[in-house]
Chain A
Amino acid sequence: KAGVTQTPRYLIKTRGQQVTLSCSPISGHRSVSWYQQTPGQGLQFLFEYFSETQRNKGNFPGRFSGRQFSNSRSEMNVSTLELGDSALYLCASSRDRDSYEQYFGPGTRLTVT
C-alpha cells in the first residue's frame, strides 16, 4: 500500500510570492492534516480537512489556507511568503476523524529567500 505522498519535495521561493503544496493521502484515508515543522517551534498544527471541509485550524495567519478535493487529496497554499515561512511542511492522513493513527508523508521543504 502506497504511503502519503507530497509534492514537490523541495521548493525555493522569494519573499512576497505564493506557493501551493500538494498531498495525496493513503488510499481509503479521508482525513488530511497539515503541520509546519521548524527548528525553533517544532511541529505545529496548521489545519485538518475531512470530507472536503476544514474541521480544525491552528494558530496561523490567514495567509495559510488549504482545501481538500473529493478524492481526499489536499493542497495547502501560502500567500505573500515571509522568511519565517521557511520550514518543512508535513501532511498526515488517517482513515477517519477519530482514527488515532496518523501517517505522515516525507514533507515539502520550503525555503523562502
Chain B
Amino acid sequence: QKEVEQDPGPLSVPEGAIVSLNCTYSNSAFQYFMWYRQYSRKGPDLLMYTYSSGNKEDGRFTAQVDKSSKYISLFIRDSQPSDSATYLCAPRNFGNEKLTFGTGTRLTIIP
C-alpha cells in the first residue's frame, strides 16, 4: 500500500461547478498537508497547505484535513477553465523536507 493514495482521474466538470479532490494517507506522523497544482509541461506550484486537522480557505480554494480518518480534501468553488491542471497532495513530517506525493488528479474544467 502506498503512503499516499489519490484518485488519478481524469475528472471533468463544467465551469462554475464545485470540485472535490481527495487523498488518503497511512503515515500518522504527517503533520503538514500541501496541495500543489501542476500545469502541463511545468513544475508543481504550491497552492496551499494546512497544519494538522482543520480547514483553511484561500479565495475559491478550501483545504480540509481529518487526521482521525487520514483524509485530505481540496475544494474548488466556482471552477474556471484556468483551474484545469493536475492537483497533487503532498503530506510531510515536521523537520523533514521530504514530500510524499499522491499520484495526482488530472482535472479539466469544461467551458
Binding site for B on A (CB under 8 A): 4, 31, 33, 35, 42-45, 48, 50, 55-56, 58, 90, 92, 94, 97-98, 100-107
State which of B55-63, B70-78, B101-109 sits at the interface with chain A. B101-109
* Contacts between chains A and B (CB distance < 8 A), count: 61
Q: How many residues of B contact A (CB 8 A)?
A: 25
- Find the residue from B34, B43, B49, B94 having the highest chain A CB count within 10 A: B43
Measured CA separation A45–B100 after assembly (Å): 7
DSSP majority for the A interface? strand
B102 to A, closest residue via Cβ: A42
B100 to A, closest residue via Cβ: A45
B92 within 8 A of A: yes
Given contacts A43-B90, A104-B36, 18 further A-B contacts (CB under 8 A): A31-B97, A33-B99, A42-B101, A42-B103, A42-B104, A43-B101, A44-B101, A45-B99, A92-B43, A94-B97, A100-B51, A101-B49, A103-B46, A104-B43, A104-B45, A106-B41, A106-B42, A107-B42
